[in-house]
Amino acid sequence: MRTVTLNNGVEIPQIGFGTYRSTESSSEVMNTAIKAGYRFFDTASFYNNEEDLGHALQNSGIPRKDFFLTSKCWRTEMGYDNAIRSFENSLERLQTDYLDLYLIHWPRPNLSDPEWKKVSIDTWKALEYLYHCKKVRAIGISNFMVHHMENLLSEANIVPAVNQIEFHPGYMQKEVVEYCRTHNMQVEAWSPLGCARLFENKLLLSLAAQYKVSVAQICLRFAVQEHVIPLPKSSSFNRMKQNQEVFDFTIEARDMQLLEDMPLTGWSGEHPDRERVKKP
Ligand code: A2P
């Protein structure tokens, strides 16, 4: 399995399996994903599927050390003590005694809290404590924009290993990615396929035809070439397999440029400082 090395030396697989909204029949989806070869699973307390994932991992008979498990501290679980409790609850639901990666899910507990900067830092201090206790191999953040990261880094002793953000052609968050690169934080992509909103895009369809792959594979290969770790979701074995088959072709520089220059397309409407835009 191809891996990338995080800023603390931990190796992380180059592609992970996203589990958001796989609550219905989620254990079946997780079992299938394991059979399809995924070993890196991205979950969160908010997804309400950690127990199912824990069962699937146990039932697989594959040693725990062969998996790379990420979970996240939800908005209502922020603050020092709450974050530690939230982490312990995730461990219990996942039937494990450590995580490979633990993230702060969103930078603010809610959109109106004037104390969000302090809450964000307190939560980070809890993650630093868990890291020092060796209960988690790497710690990071999710959905942080530049000003949220500046706040965190003003007090952090450990630089986050990862920032997981929405990233796909048509929504690259270039400033965030650039800031992460400068500070040696690995970017991970949620919704690397634009949650199926990109599948009719003309440029993507023409590149898919040109490289003789699917639009999904163009999106995933694009992430890989941008040094971003994609976390695609799928409910079908064949598409799960297909989404890992992105290492036998290379998108040429001029086509990468076309993808980088795409106008806003397929954005989920999620923003860390604003209410969700319903129809972006
Ligand atoms: P399905 O579960 O039927 O495979 P994202 O990860 O960006 O949020 O996108 C997930 C969506 O993309 C799901 O609706 C999933 O549907 C679909 N999808 C995942 N992989 C592929 C693929 N290789 N081809 C087409 N659709 C895909």
Q: How many helices (H) and strands (E) does the chain have?
A: 10, 10
- For residue 184, the 8-state DSSP code is T
For residue 96, pLDDT beyond 60: yes
Task: Report the pLDDT value the prediction gives residue 1, as an integer from 0 to 100.
Answer: 83
CA angle 32, 34, 37 (to 5 degrees): 110
Task: Report the pLDDT value the prediction gives residue 196, as an integer from 0 to 100.
Answer: 85
| Ligand 1 atom at minimal distance to the Cα of residue 232 | 6
Give helix 80-94 / helix 50-60 axis angle, nearest 10°: 40
Distance from C-alpha of 207 to C-alpha of 77, rounded to nearest angstrom:
43
Q: To the nearest whole percent, how much of the chain has pLDDT over 90?
A: 92
98-124 pLDDT per residue, tens: 999 999 999 999 998 899 999 999 999
| Ligand 1: centre distance to CA 270 (Å) | 19
| Ligand 1: centre distance to CA 58 (Å) | 26
For residue 276, pLDDT beyond 90: no
Query: Taking residues 216-221, what's their average pLDDT?
Result: 98
| Contact assessment for residue 100 and residue 137, using Cβ atoms and an 8 Å cutoff | yes
For ligand 1, atom 14, the nearest C-alpha belongs to 196
What amino acid is encoded at 26 in this protein?
S
123-173 pLDDT per residue, tens: 999 999 999 999 999 999 999 999 999 999 999 999 999 999 999 999 999
Task: Report the pLDDT value the prediction gives residue 21, as an integer from 0 to 100.
Answer: 79
| Ligand 1 atom at minimal distance to the Cα of residue 191 | 7
Task: Report the pLDDT value the prediction gives residue 280, as an integer from 0 to 100.
Answer: 53
Choose which residue among 239, 246, 265, 267 to substitute to test ligand 1 binding: the one with the highest number of ligand atoms within 8 A of its C-beta: 239
CA angle 193, 220, 106 (to 5 degrees): 60
Binned at pLDDT 50, 70 and 90, residue 241 comes out as very high
- Please list the active-site residues: 47
Q: Coil, helix or strand for 30?
A: helix
| Ligand 1 atom at minimal distance to the Cα of residue 231 | 6
| Ligand 1: centre distance to CA 61 (Å) | 27
| Ligand 1: centre distance to CA 52 (Å) | 20
Least confident of 11-25, 205-219, 238-252: 11-25
Choose which residue among 164, 204, 218, 233 to substitute to test ligand 1 binding: the one with the highest number of ligand atoms within 8 A of its C-beta: 233
| Ligand 1 atom at minimal distance to the Cα of residue 235 | 2
Mean pLDDT, rounded, of the chain: 96
Binned at pLDDT 50, 70 and 90, residue 23 comes out as low
Distance from C-alpha of 266 to C-alpha of 166, rounded to nearest angstrom:
10
User: For the chain, first and last CA: distance in Å?
Assistant: 36
Strand locations in the chain (E): 3-5, 11-13, 17-18, 40-42, 68-73, 101-104, 139-142, 162-166, 186-190, 228-231
SS percent in the chain: helix, strand, coil, step 5: 40, 15, 40
Q: Which two tokens stand for residue 17?
A: 């399996």
Q: Which two tokens stand for residue 106?
A: 């969103």
For residue 22, pLDDT beyond 90: no
| Ligand 1: centre distance to CA 36 (Å) | 15
For ligand 1, atom 23, the nearest C-alpha belongs to 239
In this structure, the residues whose C-beta lies within 6 A of any atom of ligand 1 are 18, 191-196, 214, 216, 232-236, 239, 242-243
